[in-house]
Amino acid sequence: MLALIDALEPRGQLISYGVLDDSDITLKASRILYKNMPWQGFGIDGWLDHVAPGELAAAQRALWPILTNKPDLLPS
């Protein structure tokens, strides 16, 4: 994670989609603050708990054809 932060340009944005490694990290506030860097997390379970039924249906209609045509995108 720290390597990703260091690789960002000033005002770059880090969006975490899920957790690949749930271990603790040591992070100085200046590493983010001096880059004016927003850091946002996204967890699918939280999204599913609050998404409108129509929005979920639209996402499913968009994603199923992609996954049907490119099954290698799915984890094995």
Q: At residue 40, does pLDDT exceed 80?
A: yes
**Within-domain flag for 51:** yes
What residue type is 26 in one-letter code?
Answer: T
Give the structural domain span for 24. 2-70
Number of domains in the chain: 1
Q: What is the pLDDT of residues 7-29, one digit of tens each?
A: 989 998 888 877 777 888 888 88
Has residue 24 been placed in a domain?
yes
- Is residue 76 domain-resident? no
DSSP string of 4-21, one letter each residue? HHHHSPTT--EEEES-S-
Confidence (pTM):
0.49
More confident residue, 44 or 65: 65
Q: What confidence tier does 69 reach under pLDDT thresholds 50, 70, 90?
A: very high
Helix (H, G, I), strand (E, B) or coil at 39: strand
Is residue 25 within 8 Å of residue 1, measured between CB atoms?
Answer: yes
